[in-house]
Amino acid sequence: SHGNPIDLLGDADDGRFDAALKACLDDEGVDGTIVMLTPQAMTDPLGVAKTITPMARKARKPVLACWMGDKQVRAAREHFTRERLPHFTTPEASVEAFAYLAAHKRNQRLLLQVPGPLSDRTRTDVQGARLIIESALSEGRKVLSTMESKAILSAFRIPVTQTMRANTASEALVAAGTVGYPVAMKIDSPDITHKSDVQGVRLNIASAESVRSAFQTMIEDTRRLRPDARINGVTIERMHKSTYGRELMVGVLRDPVFGPVISFGAGGTSVEVIKDRAVALPPLNEVIIEGMIARTKVAKLLKEFRNMPAVDDEALEQVLLRVSEMVCELPEIQDMDINPLIADERGLAAVDARLSVDYPPSMPDRYAHMAIHPYPAHLVNQWQLPDGVNLTIRPIRPEDAKIEQEFVRNLSPEARYFRFMQAVHELTPHMLVRFTQIDYDREMALIAVREQPDGSELQIAVARYTANPDQQSCEFGLVVADEWQGRGIGSHLMNELMDVARSRGLRTMEGEVLSQNTNMIALMHRLGFTSRNSHEDDGIKVVSKRL
């Protein structure tokens, strides 16, 4: 992968084969190696096999063998079987096997992409965008005007072209003079999605006379082609100058099952014909965005070619992240089209945008409209112990796997036994993934961490719940590091956890505690939990509380 095949004829013991294979295994640009052998190419297949196996064993990337033939290579195949090196009889089978490995690695990488925290709220005017939407809905409108749509994009720091609306030809002249020539004029109607279909777009208008005549012509053409459409006037915007601009499209649609879906692809007037589009579920991050862009045909045009400089990748990524944040924070958005989104080496600008909105259903959680919940950054808070030690209480993240492992490893054997009800020295890889890569919609894990002098974090406690299938109750777990017990950390974490569960609509929290864990039982009683003996095991107490 990512390289050209090395065609080498000769004997295995002449040195060239060893050097070529080593070069493949050492090449960072190569994902894996398939060593293929034809009976005519080598006189000593077994010798080649014995050369390959020790090198493959030391390699950090997969090595597969494709030994074509029967009797001549039988001994080599038997050697591969003994050495547990995969081998195949045809090139097609070996390439397919490698493709499965690559797909598995890609899928595993995507599974690790748990949504990260959204951007700094101080730089994003979520409330301002919500007020624009509420104002339109209160007027009975579900399709926002171009100016309203661009205002919402601006609220989320997405670059847009300056736009003004004109209801008359005189207002159009004033608007054109304000934004500066040359200008683009577009018909403004909530009933027309594609303005070019009614000849409702005029570009590169460079004079006042042309503005006035274009206004009259556009209004007349629109009334003739769409007599049923409501016409609010026209929008005037300064022409976006971009010598090397590429027209892109970013969209949002609402799926009845998965909720909002973000699409990306080639833009312009031929977007429905080309149908170059890739979709992903928000919230997005850098890895998901990279994969989504790579799946489109327009991705090749974003790179440098001939005299065209490459598009500003970072700016494009930021726009997609902001769109992702927008649909996370505004459940009112039903669909959206930013087309065209002009991208070049200097950045991006949304030239045209259209949003449709609706009243969101009543939801117990702010992200209930989404299939995947973003990292709940609003739950991060600082807390100070009575002795002045500062702690951070926050939801757990996938990158906390290391400190979670160290936390469990440093617990006393008794504390680990009380938590897991069995002898556990450290978390297995499967348990570590399960504890750190959580679904924030159905479970929550709050950890207490203290910042170390070197800037790293030390985990000192964790409290978590998992919702039961009835979505009315949940089971909890709590553990505090031995040296931090008796300082109120467990009580504080449990109160925070119960607040989260209550806000998610859960009504009951329960858990199992070993009867000899008297400290935990006493803590639960102080928090208002009741206890009873388990029906299945006399050595276990079941504690529960109505939320």
For the chain, report the end-to-end CA distance as a whole number of angstroms.
55
Question: Cβ–Cβ contacts within 10 Å for residue 335, how many?
Answer: 16
CATH 3.40.718.10 fits 377-546, yes or no: no
Tell me, what's the pLDDT at 35? 74
Q: Order across the sheet with 530-533: list the strands.
A: 381-384, 390-395, 443-451, 457-467, 473-480, 508-514, 540-546, 530-533
Whether the CB-CB separation of 144 and 354 falls below 8 Å is answered with: yes
* Separation between Cα atoms, residue 456 and residue 406, nearest integer Å: 13
- Can you say whether residue 10 is alpha, beta or left, with left for phi > 0 and alpha for psi between -120 and 50 degrees? left
CA 288/CA 109 separation, integer angstroms: 10
**Which percentage of the chain shows pLDDT scores above 70?**
92
Coil, strand, or helix at residue 192? Answer: coil
DSSP conformation class of 506: -
Q: What does the chain come to in residues?
A: 547
Identify the helix (H) or strand (E) that includes residue 338: strand 333-344
Q: Which CATH class is domain 162-239?
A: alpha beta
Name the pLDDT band for 291 (thresholds 50, 70, 90).
confident
pLDDT tens for 346-373 read 999 999 899 999 998 877 677 888 888 8
Q: DSSP states of 221-278 as a string?
A: HHHHH-TTS---EEEEEE----TT-EEEEEEEEEETTTEEEEEEEE-STTHHHH--EE
DSSP codes, 78-111 = HHHHHHT--EESSHHHHHHHHHHHHHHHHHHHHH
Tens of pLDDT, residue by residue over 236-267, are 988 888 888 899 999 999 988 888 999 999 98
Asked if the model's pLDDT at residue 514 lies above 60, the reply is yes
> Alpha-carbon distance 449 to 406, whole Å?
12
Domain boundaries, given as residue ranges, for the chain: 12-111, 162-239, 246-357, 377-546
Whole-number pLDDT of residue 367: 81
Please provide the CATH number assigned to the domain covering 246-357: 3.30.470.20
Q: Six-digit token pair at 490?
A: 């467990």
Mean pLDDT of the chain: 86
Amino acid at site 202: R
Which band of pLDDT confidence, cut at 50, 70 and 90, is reported for residue 29?
A: low
Report how far residue 436's alpha carbon sits from residue 364's, in angstroms, rounded to the nearest whole number: 24
Put residue 281 in one of left, alpha, beta given phi > 0 → left and psi -120 to 50 → alpha: beta
Q: Is the pLDDT of residue 273 over 70?
A: yes
What pLDDT is attached to residue 457? 92
Nearest to 312, CA basis, from 240, 246, 238, 241? 246
What's the pLDDT at 441?
A: 83
12-111 to CATH, choices 3.40.430.10, 3.40.50.261, 3.30.360.10, 3.40.50.300: 3.40.50.261
- pLDDT tens digits, one per residue of 53-72: 888 888 778 888 888 888 88
> How far apart, in whole angstroms, are the C-alpha atoms of residue 491 and residue 393?
13
- Domains 246-357 and 377-546 in one fold: no
The lowest-confidence range among 31-45, 229-243, 279-293, 335-349 is 31-45
What span, in angstroms and rounded, lies between the C-alpha atoms of 528 and 525? 5
Question: Within 13 Å, how many C-alpha atoms sit on residue 41's CB side?
Answer: 19
**pLDDT per position as a tens digit, 160-191:** 988 898 989 999 999 999 988 899 999 988 88
- Residue 115: the pLDDT is 54
pLDDT at 42: 61
**Looking at residue 3, what is its pLDDT?**
43
Contact 222, 199 (CB under 8 A): yes
Name the band, by pLDDT with cuts 50, 70 and 90, for residue 111.
low
pLDDT, greater one: 171 or 29: 171
pLDDT at 8: 45
